[in-house]
Amino acid sequence: DVKVTQSSRYLVKRTGEKVFLECVQDMDHENMFWYRQDPGLGLRLIYFSYDVKMKEKGDIPEGYSVSREKKERFSLILESASTNQTSMYLCASRPGTGGNQPQHFGDGTRLSIL
């Protein structure tokens, strides 16, 4: 089974802090994704990466950046956290070939910005 591991289940940070959310997958998947999930809005794509050091903006990239230095690891960075970034963050991965491959999700990080 694919294992996608997010480093923290719960995280509390302060406004203005630089925040790192880490995600690791163990299946050598080329593609990795970061979503945020908010009630009534479903999942919205922040960024995705289709290869090491490659990234592409999703639907809501403002206020976020990402890093992918190794194939198995994809980091989401909040450069200067704000209260409107309080949310559930979900990481996912999938193989690189073909749109019919499902995404596999981690358990999520619930981030609170105070």
Partner 1 sequence: AQSVTQPDIHITVSEGASLELRCNYSYGATPYLFWYVQSPGQGLQLLLKYFSGDTLVQGIKGFEAEFKRSQSSFNLRKPSVHWSDAAEYFCAVGAYFGNEKLTFGTGTRLTIIP
- Binder of partner 1 out of 7, 13, 43, 61 (CB under 8 A): 43
Evaluate whether 109 touches 89 at the Cβ level (below 8 Å): yes
Binding to partner 1, residues 13-32 (CB under 8 A): 31
- Binder of partner 1 out of 7, 11, 13, 58 (CB under 8 A): 58
- Binder of partner 1 out of 66, 106, 111, 113 (CB under 8 A): 106
Q: Which residue has the tokens 């925040």?
A: 19
Residues in the chain: 114
Longest dimension (CA), the chain: 41
In angstroms, rounded to a whole number, what is the distance separating the alpha carbons of residues 110 and 42? 15
User: Interface residues with partner 1 (CB under 8 A)?
Assistant: 4, 9, 31, 33, 40-45, 48, 50, 58, 90, 92, 94, 96, 99-100, 102-108
